[in-house]
Amino acid sequence: MFKKEVYIDRRNRLREEVTSGVALILGNAEASYNYPANTYHFRQDSDFLYFFGLDLPDFVGVVDIDNHKDYIFANDVDIEDIIWMGPQPTVKDQAAGVGVENTAPYGDLKGFLNRVVKEGRKVHFLPFYRGDRVLQLQDLLGFLAGSVKDYVSEELIKAVVKLRSIKDEYEIAEIEKAVDIAYDMHTTAMKMCKPGVIEREIAGTMEGISLAQGGPVSFPIILTINGQTLHNHYHGNTLTEGRMMIADAGAETTMHYSSDITRTTPVGGKFSQRQKEVYEIVLEANMKAIEAIRPGVEYREIHFLAAKILTTGLKNLGLIKGDVDAAVAAGAHTLFQPHGLGHMMGIDVHDMEGLGENYVGYDEKTKRATEFGTAYLRLGRELQPGFVLTVEPGCYFIPELIDKWQKEGTCAEFIDFDKVNEYRNFGGIRIEDDVLVTETGNRVLGKPIPKTVEEIEAICAS
């Protein structure tokens, strides 16, 4: 946990952003895996962590906007719990640790909220991603289950996004810790990337490194010799010479801040000439995009800068033809990179995505595109100091997509399909770093993880 002043300040700033009423911040409950008592690893709700910091199930926080009071509703453990879990601090003591003086048993929450409603004050709550929330809100506020989502507070969403988007020094330090854990995960994966090894041996080792140094991985590891499948979670292939392994993986710290790093390593540790040629293009896109990050620039512009670098490189290899700007405007690059350049990162690896991607990545000025590929860009809006985001260009050869575009004649004036078909068994390359927007530019977070051809080959050989 951070010191209590951090949480007090966050809740005070929330009060400045919301006009009136109370903000109901629901912590998570345990979630069952395959029978009731066998639960998933507990993960606290990220908004609850942000405002109340306590990492235990069945806690609820309330920020009273009008009366300058904060509350924790939760039950103290009883002797049954102590027998199985050991003694626990009281709710009162835990709440004091995050600067909350008012506590009450969970059973008092419904009456408290009823009184707020009777006073004509609004109960603000955030969107939810777990089914039990619907039942909880139905019980607490009396909505019909099917209509709970209609009462989510847009005012609270916007306030929380505004606060959580700007990371303070403590949060940045945590994210850097998470990247440093990812350094160990990825350099280990590079050293293990040899013919005959099964993907799961590497993925499992990476996951263990994360658990041993902080918390679980920040999302299920993507590790595959079939990198052309963007979110490939199958880990059963045996690594073979001639393929490349994409490893897209990050850690959570004990405080639940994340990292999200991708590296691409040739199986056996040496890039072929063809692999190197494409790798250098993606690397240039990654590095030039990072260079361009500074306050005031729309991330969408940086996405298109990376798209132009990719398109220019592929034109030099003969896969794209014609004018580069016209090719990008037509979306020709999306055959090779059908995803966005990056997303916000923080307590969630796709930070605040549960609150609604468009609230996080777009605003009045910058609207989300609807075109194939660009529509997947999660962050488009103007950058501000304190944003932490990923930069993750890629180049993929997806046989099914190539066939579809060729058959339909999509972007045929810009794509040499005969040449592209020579690469149909190439796989994919992605290179991802985590970057802080500073007052004057940017800083790549954490210990630099090998990413040039020479650095990767050297690590593999070590």
Instruction: Provide, rounded to whole angstroms, the least separation between the CB of residue 59 and ligand GLY.
Output: 29
Residue 182 vs 193, nearer CB to Mn ion: 182
Residue listed under structure tokens 């019909």: 144
| Single-letter amino acid, residue 5 | E
- 3-state helix/strand/coil string of 378-426: CCCCECCCCCEEEECCEEECCHHHHHHHHHHCCCCCCECHHHHHCCCCC
Q: Does 45 bind ligand GLY (CB under 6 A)?
A: no
Instruction: Provide, rounded to whole angstroms, the least separation between the CB of residue 378 and ligand GLY.
Output: 8
Q: Which does 176 bind (CB under 5 to 8 A by kind): ligand GLY, Mn ion, none?
A: none
Q: Is residue 79 classed exposed, middle or buried when 0-12, 13-18 and 19+ CB atoms within 10 A define those classes?
A: exposed
Q: How far is CA 320 from the centre of its chain?
A: 31
Residue 349 vs 355, nearer CB to Mn ion: 349
Residue 315 vs 378, nearer CB to ligand GLY: 378
C-alpha angle with apex 416: 411 to 419, nearest 5 degrees?
145
Q: Does 260 bind Mn ion (CB under 5 A)?
A: yes
Instruction: Provide, rounded to whole angstroms, the least separation between the CB of residue 88 and ligand GLY.
Output: 35
Residue 207 vs 260, nearer CB to Mn ion: 260
Instruction: Provide, rounded to whole angstroms, the least separation between the CB of residue 290 and ligand GLY.
Output: 16
Q: How far is CA 61 from the centre of its chain?
A: 24
Instruction: Provide, rounded to whole angstroms, the least separation between the CB of residue 392 and ligand GLY.
Output: 6
Q: Does 390 bind Mn ion (CB under 5 A)?
A: yes
Q: Which does 433 bind (CB under 5 to 8 A by kind): Mn ion, ligand GLY, none?
A: none
250-279 residues in contact with ligand GLY (CB under 6 A) are 260
- The alpha carbons of the chain give a radius of gyration, in whole angstroms, of 24
Selected range binding Mn ion among 15-23, 217-225, 232-240, 260-268, rule: CB under 5 A: 260-268
Residue 103 vs 210, nearer CB to ligand GLY: 210
Q: Is 111 left (phi over 0), alpha (psi -120 to 50) or beta?
A: alpha
Secondary structure letter of residue 196 according to DSSP: T
Instruction: Provide, rounded to whole angstroms, the least separation between the CB of residue 357 and ligand GLY.
Output: 12
Residue 57 vs 220, nearer CB to ligand GLY: 220
Per the DSSP assignment, residues forming a β-bridge with 60 are 26, 73
Kindly give the pairing relationship between strand 428-430 and strand 394-396: antiparallel
Number of amino acids touching ligand GLY (CB under 6 A) = 3
Residue 30 phi, psi (nearest 5): -65, 150
Q: Which residues contact 5 (CB under 8 A, 6 or more apart)?
A: 99
Q: Does 207 bind ligand GLY (CB under 6 A)?
A: no
Instruction: Enter the tokens of residue 68.
Output: 């300058």
Instruction: Provide, rounded to whole angstroms, the least separation between the CB of residue 163 and ligand GLY.
Output: 23
Q: Does 248 bind ligand GLY (CB under 6 A)?
A: yes
Distance CA(296)–CA(189), nearest Å, equals: 37
- Whether residue 290 contacts residue 435, with contact meaning beta carbons closer than 8 Å, is answered with yes
Residue 333 vs 343, nearer CB to ligand GLY: 343
Q: Does 351 bind ligand GLY (CB under 6 A)?
A: no
Binding residues vs ligand GLY (CB under 6 A): 248, 260, 343
Binding residues vs Mn ion (CB under 5 A): 260, 390
